[in-house]
Amino acid sequence: MNRDDTFKKRTRLNPVILVFFGSLVSGLIYLGYTSSSIRFKVQRFCFNITKEHQESVLLQLPQGLSFNQPSVVGPDGKIVPVTPWLAPIVWEGTFDPTLIDSVYKQQNVTIATTVFALGKYTVFLKEFLESAEQNYFVGFHVHYYIFTDHPEEVPDVKLGEGHQLTVMTVDSSNRWQEMTLRRMERLEKLIESRLVKEADYVFSLDVDTKFYARWGAETLGRLVGVLHPGYYQTPREQFPYERRPESQAFIPYSEGDYYYGGAVLGGAVKDVYEVAKTCREQLDIDAAKSIEAAWQEESHLNKYFVYNKPSKLLSPEYLWQDFKPQTNEVKIIRFSQVIKNYAAVRPNP
């Protein structure tokens, strides 16, 4: 058969093939409109594409860009509910708790929560866990991972439905700075070994804290940081960012929008992994040069957030300090640092 014959054969076959595929396609379209299961699959497929797209948008910023510092409370005393890159700032009154919980319940999400209690900090666990059980993601799947060098001191707190706790025994350190900054490395490893399979979202929280009010699905997002209660009305050149250029956490006086607290870091497992891994790498570079940033991992977290913007910010309602009097703009204190005697709980000054 020469090339011409093949060509003729193909052209002769074409109408048959066309009719066949034509009926197949119209049949599928018909089924698509009549069969609910196919329609459901088509809808799910489209939904996944949209979701994937929205969730993967990284909010990166080049270094050296000049921009004005945004305010958190306006001159009229009113709260500002959004950042200049259009991320929500979660305040009381900006969300409907029942509605937002229902939205995330549909997705059957699991929230991993890492808490470090090394050395004498195990004393904070009881109040932390008891108050969390009253307020923190009530009715959701929550898995606490308690990292400690004293597993026998983890209190037996009754957990609500869907909540579970795993004790992770780790080596002791003799410097408090070491305990706080190694959280990044331990979080990174935990995500690699377990959380990728066990959770959708993860929060890393300070243990010297207490919940006073609801903390629910309004805090979920791709990458979540909290505004530090001590600096949300401070000019950025006075932020306690690391200012020595030798440190990887260095931020120039003309940059940075907010000062974030190291006590809360959260988001989707994959996005928090990027933060933990990057901060751990930067901490390692600093350690090799014998530099420790002003506020350890909090300084590195702030550096990360200046150039990789969080997709959601929690207002200081989500990180207060018990010694700080409540202010007008803060209608509800949800989570707060308890008053601690530094000399009594830390192993070194």
Ligand X SMILES: CC(=O)N[C@H]1[C@@H](OP(=O)(O)OP(=O)(O)OC[C@H]2O[C@@H](n3ccc(=O)[nH]c3=O)[C@H](O)[C@@H]2O)O[C@H](CO)[C@H](O)[C@@H]1O
Tell me the catalytic residues.
Answer: 298
Q: Does 298 belong to an annotated binding site?
A: yes
Site string for ligand X, 69-108 (x = CB under 6 A): ----------------------------------------
Residue with smallest beta-carbon separation from Mn ion: 206
Burial class (CB in 10 A: 0-12, 13-18, 19+), 109: middle
**Nearest distance from C-beta of residue 130 to ligand X, angstroms:** 16
Q: Does 207 belong to an annotated binding site?
A: yes
Alpha helices for the chain (secondary structure H): 3-34, 36-55, 97-106, 125-135, 176-181, 183-190, 196-198, 269-288, 296-307, 342-345
The answer to whether the CB of 314 falls within 8 A of the CB of 336 is: no
| Token pair of 36 as six digits | 């609910």
Q: If you compute the radius of gyration of the chain from its CA atoms, what whole number of angstroms results? A: 26
Strand order of the sheet with strand 163-169?
Answer: 89-90, 312-314, 223-227, 260-268, 201-205, 110-117, 141-148, 163-169
**Binding to ligand X by residue 225, rule CB under 6 A?**
no
**Binding to ligand X by residue 207, rule CB under 6 A?**
yes
Q: Does 208 belong to an annotated binding site?
A: yes
Please say whether the dihedral angle defined by the alpha carbons of residues 273, 119, 173 and 349, taken in this order, is positive or negative.
Answer: positive
Site string for ligand X, 22-61 (x = CB under 6 A): ----------------------------------------
Q: Which of 271, 298, 317, 329 binds ligand X (CB under 6 A)?
A: 298
**Binding to Mn ion by residue 208, rule CB under 5 A?**
yes
Q: Which of 180, 278, 302, 315 binds ligand X (CB under 6 A)?
A: 180
Using DSSP's 3-state secondary structure scheme, residue 44 falls into helix
Residue with smallest beta-carbon separation from ligand X: 262
The H or E element that residue 203 is part of is strand 201-205
**Nearest distance from C-beta of residue 64 to ligand X, angstroms:** 26
Using DSSP's 3-state secondary structure scheme, residue 276 falls into helix
**Binding to ligand X by residue 224, rule CB under 6 A?**
no
The answer to whether the CB of 208 falls within 8 A of the CB of 340 is: yes
Q: Near ligand X by CB under 6 A, which window of 158-166, 216-224, 268-276, 294-302?
A: 294-302
**Binding to Mn ion by residue 206, rule CB under 5 A?**
yes
**Binding to ligand X by residue 296, rule CB under 6 A?**
yes
Q: Which of 79, 87, 90, 117 binds ligand X (CB under 6 A)?
A: 117
Nearest CB to ligand X, comparing residues 83 and 180: 180
Amino acid at 245: P
Residue 207 binds: one of Mn ion, ligand X, none (C-beta under 5 to 8 A by kind): ligand X
**Binding to ligand X by residue 297, rule CB under 6 A?**
yes
- CA–CA dist 115, 323 (Å, integer): 22
Q: Which of 128, 136, 176, 201 binds ligand X (CB under 6 A)?
A: 176
Q: Near ligand X by CB under 6 A, which window of 57-65, 85-93, 203-211, 248-256?
A: 203-211
**Binding to Mn ion by residue 271, rule CB under 5 A?**
no
65 forms bridges with which residues in the sheet?
A: none
**Nearest distance from C-beta of residue 149 to ligand X, angstroms:** 9
Task: Collect all residues with Cβ–Cβ distance below 8 Å to 348 and sequence separation of at least 6.
Answer: 174, 175, 176
CA-wise closest residue to 132 among 148, 120, 114: 114
- CA–CA dist 272, 332 (Å, integer): 27
Q: Does 228 belong to an annotated binding site?
A: yes
For binding to Mn ion (CB under 5 A), which residues are involved? Answer: 206, 208
For binding to ligand X (CB under 6 A), which residues are involved? Answer: 116-119, 121, 176, 179-180, 206-208, 228, 261-263, 295-298, 319, 337, 346-347
| Annotated binding-site ranges | 121, 206-208, 228, 298
